[in-house]
Amino acid sequence: MPPVRTRIAPSPTGDPHLGTAYIALFNRCFAHRHGGSFILRIEDTDRERSSAQSEDKILKALRWLSLDWDEGPGRDGGKGPYRQSERSAIYSDHIRILLEKSLAFPCFCDEKRLAELRREQMRLKRQPGYDGHCLNLSADEVARRIESGERHVIRLRVPREGECVFEDLLRGEIRIQWSQVDMPVLIKSDGLPTYHFANVVDDHLMEVSHVIRGEEWISSVPKHVLLYESFGWDRPVFCHMPLLRNPDKSKLSKRRNPTSIGYYQATGYLPEALINYLGTMGWSMPDGEEKFSLADMEARFELERVSLGGPIFDREKLDWLNGRYLREDLDDAEFARRFAEWAFRPELIGKMAPLVRQRTSRFSDVTSLAGYFLQGELSVSADDFAHKQLDQEACRRILLYSLWTLEASPDWNRDAIEARLQELATRMDYKIRNFLFPLFVAITGKPVSLSVFDSISVLGLDLTRARLRAAIESLGGISGKQQKILEKEFKTL
């Protein structure tokens, strides 16, 4: 049997997600259980949405959780580079092979034509998708149009008849009609590969034996299978893991639950407890023990024992488990050390210092002034938001719109935050003093405090989001229906 090689392939387009850690954990356990290697590959071919900052956060989050990789950025295993943006020449070589065999074809259809096509298909209640318009252009015409510099993409030729059959390690045989599979773009008009193409080429060249990933990728498998066949390569074993869910069974989302690993770090969970908890998502130790280390899990892991019922990520359960770690695994000295390590994080204390230094005469004043930097969600109640000119609904709107405004702004320095919130206040037609009142209460716990813009900047998006959400909940929350109405209003502000 060839060596077991697994991988995770995150796209660095946002904050490190719990789902990435969960899939990384299972990939790593499976590889190590079988004496194989766990690879990290960065899928950064979407130039606009990828950033070095996001990649850096993902790498740090994985390391914090002890999910470091055997091969990947900074750990050469001879199959690199491990960043897709550095592998362009490889993709060019490979697309040529498919073009020569006519298994892929240049497509000159522009956005306008594709949009019209989609509209027409919707009107006729047909499956939307590419209609094969450029499939049979003559070689001369293709050459001429490319020569003249016409914008084009390269698509994969997908059969229109029959079905694609593949095995999933957990789900058995899966059949999907080829007519349900769109002819995917492999190379975009900017010359860069798409996810499907780069992913398959890299999995093959990096000798990945098992593709273990979230179930949202099942519908992509036919495209991948076709690519493997087109190149004449063996397929890897596919295994699609069940998605993490909120306690109400909906897909885990940041609206209901913090999904960013940064939140768990900032609120003082132990990485070993979080990893342990993720290990219980759809899996259990053969002896049923709920508390186990990463090493234990790696030693006893069996992929076949993953259960497909959507695993529920329940914060209360995580808190209980984290509490067990604090009580059972740390003695007083170790607790003191780990707490100090968390509380006196240089990046936090360094940012707090300039805010409090001018306003204190003794160190002992610091906690009453700035203790909220070390808290998670604050315990605020509806009464804390009582205000002469703002009722509860107004407070909820201000908090929610501020959250959406902040989520949309990549720039997290205090001046950018101030400018954005000032602008929102103007658009909502509030005096800035009134507008900031609910934000002060939600973010700092008090109506008067250190600058709320600085506080948001220091706390970061994860904690800011959690506090704004908690405040909105304490003000009665927002129903799904209201949320939709408010989304509309927010867009037209």
Question: What positions carry a catalytic annotation?
Answer: 254
- Binders of ligand GLU among residues 39 to 58 (CB under 6 A) are 43
Nearer to ligand GLU, 166 or 217 (CB): 217
Q: In what order do the strands lie in the sheet with 104-107?
A: 104-107, 153-156, 185-187
Contact between 44 and 84 under an 8 Å Cβ cutoff? The reply is yes
Piece of 3-11, 110-118, 153-161, 375-383 that binds ligand GLU (CB under 6 A):
3-11
- Determine which helix (DSSP H) or strand (DSSP E) holds 141, and give its type and residue range: helix 139-147
Piece of 9-17, 157-165, 402-410, 412-420 that binds ligand GLU (CB under 6 A):
9-17
217 binds ligand GLU (CB under 6 A): yes
Q: What angle do CA 461, 462, 466 make, to 5 degrees?
A: 110
**Shortest separation between residue 288's beta carbon and ligand GLU, angstroms:** 30
Nearer to ligand GLU, 88 or 375 (CB): 88
Nearer to ligand GLU, 39 or 153 (CB): 39
**Shortest separation between residue 31's beta carbon and ligand GLU, angstroms:** 14
**Shortest separation between residue 88's beta carbon and ligand GLU, angstroms:** 17
**Shortest separation between residue 195's beta carbon and ligand GLU, angstroms:** 6
Torsions phi, psi for 75 (to 5 deg): -140, 85
Piece of 8-16, 245-253, 254-262, 438-446 that binds ligand GLU (CB under 6 A):
8-16
CA distances 197 to 184, 225, 227, 298, Å, are 9, 11, 8, 31
Nearer to ligand GLU, 45 or 265 (CB): 45
The residues facing 37 across adjacent strands are 5
Can you tell me whether residue 210 is helix, strand or coil? Answer: strand
Which of 94, 213, 245, 254 touches ligand GLU (CB under 6 A)?
213
Contact between 385 and 446 under an 8 Å Cβ cutoff? The reply is no
**Shortest separation between residue 217's beta carbon and ligand GLU, angstroms:** 5
Q: Kindly state the tokens that stand for 443.
A: 């973010």
Nearer to ligand GLU, 214 or 376 (CB): 214
**Shortest separation between residue 180's beta carbon and ligand GLU, angstroms:** 19
Half-sphere exposure of 237 (CA within 13 A, CB side): 20
Helix axes 452-474, 432-444, angle to 10 degrees: 80
Return all residues near 344 (Cβ < 8 A) that are at least 6 apart: none
Long-range contacts of 300-305 (CB under 8 A, 24+ apart): 300/33, 301/26, 301/29, 301/30, 301/32, 301/33, 302/33, 303/26, 303/30, 303/169, 303/170, 303/212, 303/239, 304/169, 304/170
397 binds ligand GLU (CB under 6 A): no
9 binds ligand GLU (CB under 6 A): yes
**Of 194, 117, 126, 119, which is closest to residue 155 (Cα–Cα)?**
194
Binding mask 421-450 for ligand GLU (x = CB under 6 A): ------------------------------
**Shortest separation between residue 90's beta carbon and ligand GLU, angstroms:** 17
231 binds ligand GLU (CB under 6 A): no
Nearer to ligand GLU, 36 or 438 (CB): 36
Please work out the total of residues on this chain that contact ligand GLU, with binding judged by CB under 6 A.
8
Which of 4, 5, 6, 10 touches ligand GLU (CB under 6 A)?
10
Q: What's the sign of the alpha-carbon dihedral 426, 430, 436, 438? A: negative
- Binders of ligand GLU among residues 182 to 211 (CB under 6 A) are 195, 199
**Shortest separation between residue 50's beta carbon and ligand GLU, angstroms:** 10
15 binds ligand GLU (CB under 6 A): no
Angstrom distance (rounded) from CA 223 to CA 446 = 55
- Binders of ligand GLU among residues 124 to 183 (CB under 6 A) are none
Nearer to ligand GLU, 199 or 464 (CB): 199
Nearer to ligand GLU, 24 or 153 (CB): 24
Can you tell me whether residue 172 is helix, strand or coil? Answer: strand
Report the length, in residues, of the chain: 493
**Of 313, 330, 337, 331, which is closest to residue 263 (Cα–Cα)?**
313
Residues that bind ligand GLU (CB under 6 A): 9-11, 43, 195, 199, 213, 217
